[in-house]
Structure 1
Amino acid sequence: MKKIILPLLLLVLTSVMVKAQETRYLVFEFIKVESNQTYDFIEHKEFMEKIYQSAINDKRIQGWDFWSLQSGADPSEFQYITITYYKDPVSMMHGLQEEELAKYGMVAYPHFTENQVKERLAKAYSCMDLAQRAYMQEIASTRDNFQMKRGTLASFDLMKAVEGKFQEYEKAEKEVFMPIHQNRIDKGLMGHWSLLRTALPFGSEAKSTHLTINIYRDYVQFFNAQEYEDMESTAEQRAAVEKGLKSRDQKWVYLATLENAVR
């Protein structure tokens, strides 16, 4: 009996460890740039891309995206969104500190001294305003092999679970809405979908509790997906969708275009 239990226990532990490794942790930064500083900010982006690449090569982070906002927010609030990917919640919360950025900057730009790198970093951050930062944990995603590249379109949907219906909302996303998105992906109407939960503690006054990311290859795929109507859905499925919609409040939708993805 012990010979049977031990392999089963090892199998369960391995499964848990693999699942933990698959979980992604993401930090969203919503960035505001004044019109007279746009050029300086673009220089900052290009400068930072190589630094983030060095951090990825050192396995400190798993990736970095730079998105340009198309719609969904007042331009005076923010115009860009960056996403930094981490392997675990601890490294996510620590983030990349100034000293680490300087270290990776010297690797990316070996002809710079440490002081020169720090001066460039200070200049870069002076041309932007961090309007908001969100720490998220990915808890569900579709099965696909979509590869993001410049021009990829994404819809970032901020959700707030109705008070007392937190678990009900997550269940609806996983069991009702995710299969719908998977069906669209299988039909070539979508690239990827994922559900993220706010990683930090929050209360009833929190603006949002979750975020869904809907990714499309381009505007053609995006508009085809908007026009698509599943005529095969049953009355039971439609009722489940309606119930799921009542478990959350869709706070805002941001449409953005990918300018660069560093991996």
Structure 2
Amino acid sequence: MTMKKIVLFLIFGLLMAGGIRAQQTQYLVFDFIKVEDDQIFDYIEFKDLMEKVYRQALTDGKIQGWDFWSLQSGADQEAFQYIMITYYNDPVNMMNGLDESAMMDYTKIAYPHLNDAQVANLFQNALDIKDTPMRLYMKEIVGTSDDFQMKPGVLASFDLMKAREGMFEAYEQAEMEVFRPIHQNKIEQGMMGHWSFLRTALPLGSQAKSTHLTMNMYKDYMQFFNSQEYEDMNQSVAQQKAVNEGLNSRDQKWVYLATLENVVR
């Protein structure tokens, strides 16, 4: 094989690899968790243990990542205080999730000094102190191009949206073609870390509370507040019209501001 052919082959391989990565779709499970006030410290110990367990699941290829967020503000703070997100690479894995048996096996690996009875007792105690009043199964539709680093202390705004009746496709088009470039511009100006747009993965009826969700990531409060003050002074009349039409195509149901406490990648 000539040197020219080798170079062309390598370039083709890189392009194919990039294309495969670009086509990979993430599936996310959002667990909104409530813990009674007198059991908060017990649950903090449990979620730290869960980080080690989910790290074992990541090593085993069962998940793509795991986040644990502490809610700072939102409509339902009395209903839950934490948001746990588990990332999968396909919808089947997402729906199957990690059953209790698998979780216990990973716990044994992460904590080899615990016997079977101790592991079982640990999980029973966890079930006794937490409740999951809401769970969302989501599929990522599009995201920004960035190198944002997920680490404890970063902020996120989780915005639950509901597309207006008859405007489902129009709303998705607005997020992808109108709002994504705005968020990308914020990122390039250092006013934001990452943005992604997600659709509920399960079939929904007209009575569903939400149909979509946007995740807005910030490295700290300074970046978050600067982002709120952002205004594109160069926006044309046509662009402003597109923004207004996009806003009118959906109802912003809830906004939750949260801080990342634990992360597995």
| Both structures adopt the same fold (TM-score exceeding 0.5) | yes
Question: Equivalent residue for 1:152?
Answer: 154
Tell which deviates more after alignment, 112-121 or 197-206: 112-121
In structure 2, the partner of 1:116 is 118
1:90 equivalent to 2:96? Answer: no
Question: Partners in 2 of 1:59 and 1:74 — Cα distance?
Answer: 34
CA distance in 2, matches of 1:170, 1:74: 26
Within a 5 Å distance, the mapping from 1:29-108 to structure 2 comes to 29-108=31-110
User: Equivalent residues in 2 for 1:16-31 (5 A)?
Assistant: 18=20, 22-31=24-33
| Cα displacement string for residues 150-178 of structure 1 (whole angstroms, at most 9, x for unaligned residues) | 11010000000011111110000000000
CA drift of 1:231 comes to: 0.5
In the alignment, the residues of structure 1 paired with residue 185 and residue 77 of structure 2 have an alpha-carbon distance, to the nearest angstrom, of 34
Whether the aligned pair in 1 keeps the contact of 2:48 and 2:262 (CA below 8 Å) is: no
| AA in 2 matched with 1:90 | V
Q: State the 1:250 CA deviation.
A: 0.5
Mapped to 1, the partners of 2:75 and 2:151 lie a distance apart of 23
% identical aligned pairs = 62
- 2:10 — aligned with what? none
Unmatched segments (≥5 aa) in structure 1: 1-10
CA contact (8 A) 1:50 1:108 kept: yes
Question: Quick one: distance in 2 between partners of 1:232 and 1:92?
Answer: 42
Aligned length: 252
Contact 1:21 1:87 in 2 (8 A): no
Report the CA distance between 1:48 and its aligned residue. Answer: 1.0
The structure 2 residue matched to 1:141, chosen from 129, 139, 143, is: 143
Which position in structure 2 is the counterpart of 1:234?
Answer: 236
Are the structure 2 counterparts of residues 197 and 74 from structure 1 closer, same or farther at C-alpha, using a change threshold of 3 Å?
A: closer
Q: Hey, what's the Cα distance between the residues in 2 that align with 1:20 and 1:58?
A: 23
Matched AA of 1:211? L
TM-align CA RMSD = 1.7
Aligned to 1:220: 222
Letter in 2 for 1:126: D
Matches of residues 201-212 of structure 1 in structure 2 within 5 Å? 201-212=203-214
Structure 1 residue 21: deviation in Å? 5.4
Partners in 1 of 2:108 and 2:151 — Cα distance? 27
Q: Do structure 1's residue 181 and structure 2's residue 183 form an aligned pair?
A: yes
> For residues 161 and 224 of structure 1, what CA distance do their matches in structure 2 show?
28
How many Å separate the matches in 2 of 1:108 and 1:91? 22
Tell me how far 1:94 sits from its aligned partner: 0.2
1:6 — aligned with what?
A: none
Shift of 1:115: 2.6
Q: For structure 2, list consecutive stretches of 5 or more residues without a partner in the other structure.
A: 1-12
1:175-199 deviation line (CA, Å, top 9, x unaligned): 0000000000000000000000000
Q: CA deviation at 1:75?
A: 2.8
- Following superposition, the deviation at residue 15 of structure 1 comes to 8.7
TM-score, normalized by length of structure 2?
Answer: 0.91
Q: Give the ranges of 4+ consecutive aligned residues of structure 1 lying more than 4 Å apart after TM superposition.
A: 14-17
1:76 shift after superposition? 1.8
